[in-house]
Amino acid sequence: MNKTNLVDKFVTQVIAESDFTELDRIYLYNRVLALVGDAAMTAESESTNLLDLKNELVALAQQNGKCARNNSAQDILGAELMSLILPAPSIVNQRFWQSYETSPTAAISSFYHMSKTSDYIKTRAIAKNIYFIAKSNYGDLEITINLSKPEKDPKEIAAAKDAVASDYPKCQLCMENEGYQGRLNYPARSNHRIIRFSLGQEEWGFQYSPYAYFNEHCIFLSSKHEKMKIDVQTFSNLLTIVDKFPGYFVGSNADLPIVGGSILTHEHYQGGRHQFPMEKAPLIHKFRFAGFPDVEAGIVKWPMSVIRLRSSNSMLLVELAGKILAKWQNYSDEQVSIRAFSNNTQHHTITPIARMHDNEYELDLVLRDNQTSEEYPDGIFHPHPDVQHIKRENIGLIEVMGLAILPPRLVGEMTEVKKFLLKRPNQISKIHLEWASAIKEKHNITAENVNQVLQEELGLVFERVLEDTGVFKQTAAGKAAFMRFIAEVGLA
């Protein structure tokens, strides 16, 4: 073995992180050469980190014509190289469930480690995200500017238009992604593994999110490519998952446009090991529902409209949540512009989140309404036009819980806003001018405090975004209307 040769060093790391042994060294060396080209035989490296070595191999392959010079080809080759450390899906599943019998936590931790080591979870890209805490009237909010996903190369976008259309896999949440090589307009998944498990009477999968927004951000997905839906089975599924995956919360995006997530075509949930701001929020009004004396209930102090249920009996929570959903789907209150239907179109659904709290099941039910109007064509309970210069996208599960996912465009735009606030030459966008002018009037801006002020003000915008999406507003009239709905469900 040449201790400075790039391929040899990569193979050494593969052996250290996989089931391969020294007996497999020649085989692995040749497999790497087949992927990156014979020029790698003379390439040397000072790196010892597996991801650094992988990146050097991809760069070398691009130099010698074995890999096209675009992001998609780079990702495809990188995933193929990293897949060398992974066992077959059947072995991954066998080991997971064998370990699970002894320690569910250890099994989950091992799968998470494997997903990071294989570069399926893009830890280096995720580290580029901007993150900070902002104070609000509802407790601390979490703000991120998402910089992890690579921007599309214009040439790739143009080439993708001419690529042969394919409906395989049907979407990025289908089981068929496991091991899929990828293509110009579809992500590489050679290094992807999914844990199978039963949920109700169906097969589901457990995997991690490649571009995680929080600690151990994972996805639970149906084996069937079917549209998302919120029903009684959803509540049962979520509470079963928090049993199966200790320490994790799990929630579902709503199943209607405007208030739903970015993928409504495949039934799935999101979870992980993270305590969101909404979970920390207290109850401002406690009560019991008729027929459910063993379920604690209350309204959460939160800008959105949240009913929290807690009990040691998960079946009671499922039954009560089903009753609340059925009432909400058909509930209207014209006094506060809440309408269940218009022209036979359903407007009401729920964003549910489940977790364990002090050894009891806890279920948060966030009431959603996707109406539009002439004044608010994007959605009455959607970020209103005056805050869309910061956030115009749908407010999905993660943001409902108090973690803002702001677009990468804001990095450059906020740089110009800072210059404006400091009275320096700038190219501030017109969409930010009114907001920035108000900030300048409100604060004594200096070079030392401009970053802190801007973070505080972004937090206030996110607070407003959440208030816009709340169906019962934080006013006397809104709170009274919320209690009218609670009474309609049936108080004890």
Listed in sequence order, the residues at least 6 apart from 21 whose beta carbon sits closer than 8 Å to its beta carbon are 15
Per-residue DSSP letter, 39: G
CA 406 to chain centre: 12
In the structure encoding, which two tokens stand for residue 415, read together?
A: 């740089």
Give the whole-angstrom CA distance, residue 359 versus residue 398. Answer: 24
In the structure encoding, which two tokens stand for residue 382, read together?
A: 């959607």
- Residue 165: pLDDT band (50, 70, 90) is low
Q: Is 350 helix (H, G, I), strand (E, B) or coil?
A: strand
Q: What is the pLDDT of residues 322-354, one digit of tens each?
A: 999 999 999 999 999 999 999 889 999 999 999
Helix axis angle, 104-117 to 89-102, nearest 10°: 150
For 488, the enclosing helix (H) or strand (E) is helix 476-489
- Residue 307: pLDDT band (50, 70, 90) is very high
Residue 148 has a pLDDT of 87
Residue 128 has a pLDDT of 94
Residue 271 has a pLDDT of 98
Task: Indicate the range of 113-117, 163-167, 254-258 predicted with least confidence.
Answer: 163-167
Q: Where are the beta strands (DSSP E) in 88-238?
A: 130-134, 141-145, 195-199, 202-208, 218-222
- Residue 89: pLDDT band (50, 70, 90) is very high
- Residue 150: pLDDT band (50, 70, 90) is low
In the structure encoding, which two tokens stand for residue 71, read together?
A: 């992001």
Residue 2 has a pLDDT of 79
Q: What is the pLDDT of residues 174-226, one digit of tens each?
A: 999 999 999 988 999 999 999 999 998 899 999 999 999 999 999 999 999 99
Query: Quick check: 205 and 177 in contact, CB under 8 A?
Result: no
Q: What is the mean pLDDT of residues 126-151?
A: 92
Task: Indicate the range of 92-96, 150-154, 170-174 predicted with least confidence.
Answer: 150-154
- Residue 138: pLDDT band (50, 70, 90) is very high
- Owner of token pair 């992604």: 177
- Residue 152: pLDDT band (50, 70, 90) is low
Give the whole-angstrom CA distance, residue 440 versus residue 273. Answer: 39
Query: Quick check: 474 and 463 in contact, CB under 8 A?
Result: no
Name the average pLDDT for the chain: 94
Query: Does the pLDDT of residue 154 top 80, yes or no?
Result: no
Long-range contacts of 44-51 (CB under 8 A, 24+ apart): 44/4, 44/5, 44/6, 45/4, 45/5, 45/6, 45/9, 46/4, 47/9, 48/9, 48/13, 49/13, 50/10, 50/13, 50/14, 50/17, 50/82, 50/85, 50/117, 51/119, 51/124
Residue 450's CB is within 10 A of a number of other CB atoms, namely 17
Closest CA to 62 of 52, 73, 53, 54: 73
Residue 327's CB is within 10 A of a number of other CB atoms, namely 16
Residue 184 has a pLDDT of 87
Can you say whether residue 86 is alpha, beta or left, with left for phi > 0 and alpha for psi between -120 and 50 degrees?
beta
Residue 158 has a pLDDT of 52
Give the whole-angstrom CA distance, residue 337 versus residue 335. Answer: 6
% pLDDT > 70, the chain: 97
Helical residues (DSSP H) of 17-103, grouped into ranges? 25-36, 50-63, 71-82, 89-102
Give the whole-angstrom CA distance, residue 211 versus residue 121. Answer: 6
Query: Does the pLDDT of residue 480 top 60, yes or no?
Result: yes
Listed in sequence order, the residues at least 6 apart from 71 whose beta carbon sits closer than 8 Å to its beta carbon are 150, 152, 153, 156
Q: What is the pLDDT of residues 255-292, one digit of tens each?
A: 999 998 778 999 999 999 999 999 999 999 999 999 99
Pairing mode, if any, of strands 403-406 and 141-145? parallel
Residue 164 has a pLDDT of 64
